[in-house]
Amino acid sequence: MFFNSVIFFVFLSVIFSVFSFAKSRLSQNLVLLLGSYIFYGFWDWRFLFLIFFVSSMDFFISTSIEKSTVKARQKSLLILSIAVNLLILGTFKYFNFFTHNFINLLSSIGFKTNYSVIKIILPVGISFFTFQSMSHTIDVYKGTAKAPKNILDYLLFVSFFPQLVAGPIMRSRDLLPQIENLKTPKPSDLYFGLQIILWGLFKKVAVADNLSVYVDAVYSNSSMMSSSSLILATYLFAIQIYCDFSGYSDMAVGIGRIFGIKLDWNFNTPYFSQSFNEFWKRWHITLSSWFRDYIYIPLGGSRVALSRHLLNLTITFLISGLWHGAAWNYIFWGFLHSIYLILENLISRLIKSDRKIASIPHRVAKIFIVFNLTTLAWIFFRSQSMSQSFSIIRGIASFKGSILIDNILWISTIPLLILIFIELLKFPLQTDDFFKKISPFTHFLIMSTLTLTILLFGADSGAQFIYFKF
């Protein structure tokens, strides 16, 4: 059930209608919990048992940790939660990857194997809900969050459908109190939420889905493409993945708001970053902060010797790459970003600069460098394998052939120009009073333009969001 499908909006209308008639907090939470389980069961009902097991386990473990006064027992319970969550994630997401590579390793050293790899189905959103649930247990252990008193509240915290399958990854201290004190949403919540849903839908169907047609055509036949076509497709993929994922995240925020729940923003114009450190504070913000708080800082962060600091960066981004996909090209993508950050860190130690007094050309040059190196790394993210990634890079470096022009590029021009214009204005400003600062006519003009663009240029593909597969 994709956010950009008719059936989802029918589902959303039904759930919101029933939710609006619910009078008590308990009945509202039950409506949202039932709706969330219906939403997830629509993908594959068998995995409802998995999400229920993860949620129930971490609820009872976190409650036991909070009640216990014995540190050793608390630690044992924490280890149990982490171990089970990682075992579940590892089995479903990485079993095939590691088994396949182990068999290849044995074959390379002369051992013949007759074992075939079992094809395990990947539950949608497993990387997101296991991380969200696991972080709650860790926070309760650290004393930075409280265990919920009601298991229904916790089940909803893990399964809340707007952010269930692709984030944002919420911390329990931010989302659980809202669930525990759920109130009937105000008209301003509905008004704001619908606007953000429209903005996210525009990004997805008018920009990302149109660009995907060209990108898919080039990357699926990359060995036959000219250098200029490969370059153009790579730049367009950088825009596609941003609009696809941030479009989903914006819609999740908007959907959450119409139920009176504020979800975290996941993107903040990342391609205008002047450093890679800044980029990762603007791109997939909730995941980046998760890796920072639960992996990078526990490893020692930057408050260690330089060599250990650089190792911590490398480990964190290798894990980040593996989180995104069970393939070597994802791991290398993460490794490449660690190299960027290491070089940036070393250069910053040699060259002291004050960003406040940096000239406009200097800032533009830094944005240009960060964006282009980020786009280079996207080649490994988009490719199907390491060999295809390096093949595309060789194709780009060969400077052969003429550019492949497709009608879809002309169709995408107007949505792209609208996107760039609004992104330069940092729309939406991620505040409820944004539209209070502009005239009703300007507001109507923006909303009408987005709606008309979706109707005229929206790709009628019903394509799933890229991050659903993670």
Residue 269 domain flag:
yes
The three-state secondary structure class of 220 is: coil
Peptide bond into 187 cis (omega under 30): no
Residue 314 domain flag:
no
Q: What is the pLDDT of residue 227?
A: 87
As a 3-state breakdown, the chain gives helix, strand, coil percent values, each rounded to 5, of 75, 0, 25
Backbone angles phi, psi at 257, to 5 degrees: -65, -35
Q: What is the pLDDT of residue 12?
A: 95
Residue 78 domain flag:
yes
C-alpha 271/C-alpha 353 separation (Å) is: 21
Quick one: tokens of 222? 């990359």
> CB neighbours of 187 closer than 8 A, spacing ≥ 6?
none
Residue 349 domain flag:
no
C-alpha 287/C-alpha 128 separation (Å) is: 9
Residue 175 domain flag:
yes
C-alpha 324/C-alpha 442 separation (Å) is: 40
Cα dihedral across residues 264, 268, 271, 275: positive or negative: negative
C-alpha 306/C-alpha 317 separation (Å) is: 17
Q: CB of 94 within 8 A of CB of 112?
A: no
DSSP-assigned states of every residue in 399-417: T-S-----HHHHHHHHHHH
Pair (52, 108) in one structural domain: yes
Full domain range(s) for residue 380: 189-274+355-469
DSSP-assigned states of every residue in 284-342: SHHHHHHHIIIIIHHHTTTSS-HHHHHHHHHHHHHHHHHHH-SSHHHHHHHHHHHHHHH
Pair (80, 208) in one structural domain: no
Pair (84, 225) in one structural domain: no
C-alpha 357/C-alpha 447 separation (Å) is: 37
Q: What is the pLDDT of residue 95?
A: 79
> Domain boundary residue among 148, 166, 184?
184
> CB neighbours of 270 closer than 8 A, spacing ≥ 6?
242, 279, 282, 283
Residue 285 domain flag:
no
Pair (39, 171) in one structural domain: yes
- What is the model's pTM? 0.89
Residue 71 domain flag:
yes
Quick one: tokens of 112? 């013949």
> Domain boundary residue among 141, 158, 184?
184
Quick one: tokens of 292? 């920072």
Quick one: tokens of 179? 């669930």
Backbone angles phi, psi at 343, to 5 degrees: -60, -40
Query: Mind listing the pLDDT tens digit of every residue in the chain (470 residues)?
Result: 788 888 999 999 999 999 999 888 899 999 999 999 999 998 888 889 999 999 999 999 999 999 998 999 999 999 999 999 999 998 888 877 777 776 766 666 766 666 555 677 778 889 999 999 999 999 999 999 999 989 999 999 999 999 998 889 999 999 999 999 988 888 888 888 988 999 899 889 888 888 888 899 999 998 888 888 898 889 889 999 999 999 999 999 999 999 999 999 999 889 999 999 999 999 999 999 999 999 999 999 888 998 999 999 999 999 999 999 889 999 999 999 999 999 999 988 888 655 555 677 888 899 989 999 999 999 999 999 999 999 999 998 887 776 666 555 655 666 677 777 667 665 554 555 555 666 677 777 878 888 888 888 776 656 777 777 76
CA 369 to chain centre: 23
Pair (247, 125) in one structural domain: no
The total number of structural domains in the chain stands at: 2
Angle between helical axes of 25-41 and 48-67 (0-180°, round to 10): 140
Quick one: tokens of 106? 């044995």
Sequence-ordered alpha helix ranges (H) in 202-275: 209-219, 227-258
Pair (110, 193) in one structural domain: no
> CB neighbours of 211 closer than 8 A, spacing ≥ 6?
236, 237, 239, 240, 243, 408, 412
Catalytic residue annotation: 324
Pair (142, 228) in one structural domain: no
> Domain boundary residue among 120, 149, 184?
184
Pair (161, 53) in one structural domain: yes
Pair (68, 164) in one structural domain: yes
Residue 324 domain flag:
no
Pair (72, 209) in one structural domain: no
Triad 52, 148, 169: Cα angle to 5°: 60
> CB neighbours of 12 closer than 8 A, spacing ≥ 6?
255
C-alpha 316/C-alpha 294 separation (Å) is: 10
Quick one: tokens of 250? 């914006």
Pair (102, 236) in one structural domain: no
Pair (12, 42) in one structural domain: yes
Whole-number Cα distances in Å, 469 to 119, 124, 357, 371, 413? 15, 6, 43, 25, 28
Q: What is the pLDDT of residue 129?
A: 93
Quick one: tokens of 261? 């729940």
